[in-house]
């Protein structure tokens, strides 16, 4: 058996607070069952759940001088079979545990098993690793400017503000490239529009009808993004805008495409 190093008190506290959370943690009877199945004495069953769990972890580590039993508890508590009726609860516990375990060089996979991983050096890195949205964006090679403009919001899984900041970053880049000071549809038309001759910026050579059609399509795409996403986000409270993880992923991916187009835009 591979010996797992002992978890320090801070790690044990955080793990216990996740799995013993008042609302989203294991129920008292579940704690009792999993502790028993892992051979961990339930030393203080009368205490609040997380303190009960913390004391049990401390007791077994002091007795065995390894962290194996704590890891065993996590694996059994996170068995996906137990979450078939509530997958969202599994995801919440997994995300929370991964923030903590990242500092021990571990993570919980989709199979509910804890495994070795790269050590996190700071809280931001731990949160970033735990964020499924961030991971999905990195996997898609989303433009760095998108990640930079909404980094803090992404780390907090705050989809509403992540998308809002990312769409604002497009207008910011257009202003920087064009030297204009306007915003929204007006900014787009002034920078890329063809109605008044050559635009300030072009995404191609504008040497034929196909190029001009692509330029007009890009204008429509930008105006549509501002009108459909950015403007409503700017004027509606977060509670009135249901920004799901999938919506955020799709919008941020589109925002990344636009940034890449802007990177190749030329002044005319």
Inside any domain, residue 212 = yes
Domain boundary among 130, 161, 188: 130
Tell me: do 75 and 108 sit in the same domain: yes
Domain boundary among 114, 130, 146: 130
* pLDDT (0 to 100) of residue 15: 96
Indicate whether 116 and 163 sit together in one domain: no
Contact call for residues 99 and 132 (beta carbons, < 8 A): no
Contact (CB, 8 A) for 59 and 65: no
**Residue 4 domain-assigned (yes or no):** no
81, 186: one domain? no
Residue 225 counted as domain residue = yes
Tens place of pLDDT for every residue, the chain, 268 residues?
A: 689 999 999 999 999 999 999 999 999 999 999 999 999 999 999 999 999 999 999 999 999 999 999 999 999 999 999 999 998 899 889 988 998 998 888 999 889 999 888 787 777 777 776 677 777 888 888 998 888 877 666 666 677 778 888 888 999 999 999 999 999 999 999 999 998 778 999 999 999 999 999 999 999 999 999 988 887 765 555 444 567 778 888 999 999 999 999 999 999 8
Say if residue 177 is in the same domain as residue 261.
yes
- 120 plus 156 within the same structural domain: no
Same domain, 183 and 207: yes
**C-alpha distances out from residue 61 to 71, 115, 119, 196, Å:** 11, 19, 22, 75
For residue 140, the number of C-alpha atoms closer than 13 Å in the C-beta half-sphere is: 19
The helix/strand/coil state of 90 is: helix
Q: How many domains does the chain have?
A: 2
In the chain, where do the E strands start and end?
106-108, 114-116, 201-202, 266-267
Domain match, 78 and 183 both: no
Are 13 and 95 members of one domain? yes
Give the Cα separation of 79 and 75 in Å (integer): 6
Distance CA 150, CA 85 (A): 33
Structural domain contains residue 2: no
φ/ψ (deg, to 5) at 5: -55, 150
Beta strand pairing status for 106-108 and 114-116?
antiparallel
Q: Which of 130, 165, 190 is the last residue of a domain?
A: 130
Residues 165 and 126 reside in one and the same domain:
no
DSSP string, 172-227: HHHHHHH-----HHHHHHHHH--TTSS-SEESS---SHHHHHHHHHHHHHHHHHII
Q: What count of residues does the chain have?
A: 268
Q: What is the pLDDT of residue 42?
A: 97
Clarify whether residues 149 and 262 are in a common domain: yes
Whether 38 is in a domain gets the answer: yes
- Are 119 and 183 found together in one domain? no
Handedness of CA 32, 35, 36, 40 (dihedral sign): negative
b/e map of 127-155 (b: 16 or more CB within 10 Å)? bbbbbebbebbeeeebbebbbebbeebbb
The residue range of the domain holding 102 is 9-130
- Under DSSP, is residue 108 helix (H, G, I), strand (E, B) or coil? strand
Q: Are residues 175 and 90 in the same domain?
A: no
């Amino acid at each position: 058996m591979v010996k797992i190093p002992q978890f320090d008190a801070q790690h044990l506290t955080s793990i216990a607070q996740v799995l013993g959370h008042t609302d989203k943690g294991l129920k008292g009877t579940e704690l009792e069952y999993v502790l028993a199945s892992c051979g961990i004495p339930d030393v203080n069953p009368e205490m609040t759940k997380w303190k009960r769990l913390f004391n049990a972890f401390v007791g077994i580590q002091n007795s065995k001088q390894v962290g194996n039993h704590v890891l065993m508890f996590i694996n059994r508590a996170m068995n996906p079979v137990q979450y078939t009726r509530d997958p969202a609860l599994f995801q919440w516990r997994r995300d929370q545990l991964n923030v903590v375990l990242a500092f021990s060089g571990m993570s919980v996979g989709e199979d509910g098993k804890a495994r070795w991983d790269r050590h996190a050096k700071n809280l931001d890195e731990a949160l970033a690793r735990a964020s499924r949205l961030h991971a999905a964006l990195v996997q898609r090679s989303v433009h760095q400017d998108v990640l930079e403009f909404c980094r803090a919001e992404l780390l907090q899984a705050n989809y509403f503000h992540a998308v809002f900041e990312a769409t604002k970053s497009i207008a910011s880049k257009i202003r920087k490239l064009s030297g204009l000071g306007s915003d929204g549809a007006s900014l787009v038309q002034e920078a890329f529009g063809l109605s008044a001759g050559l635009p300030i910026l072009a995404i191609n050579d504008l040497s034929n009808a196909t190029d001009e059609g692509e330029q007009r399509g890009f204008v429509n795409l930008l105006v549509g993004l501002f009108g459909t996403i950015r403007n409503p986000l700017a004027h509606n409270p977060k509670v009135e805008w249901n920004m799901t993880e999938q919506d955020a992923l799709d919008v941020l991916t589109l925002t990344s495409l636009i940034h890449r187009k802007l990177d190749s835009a030329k002044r005319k």
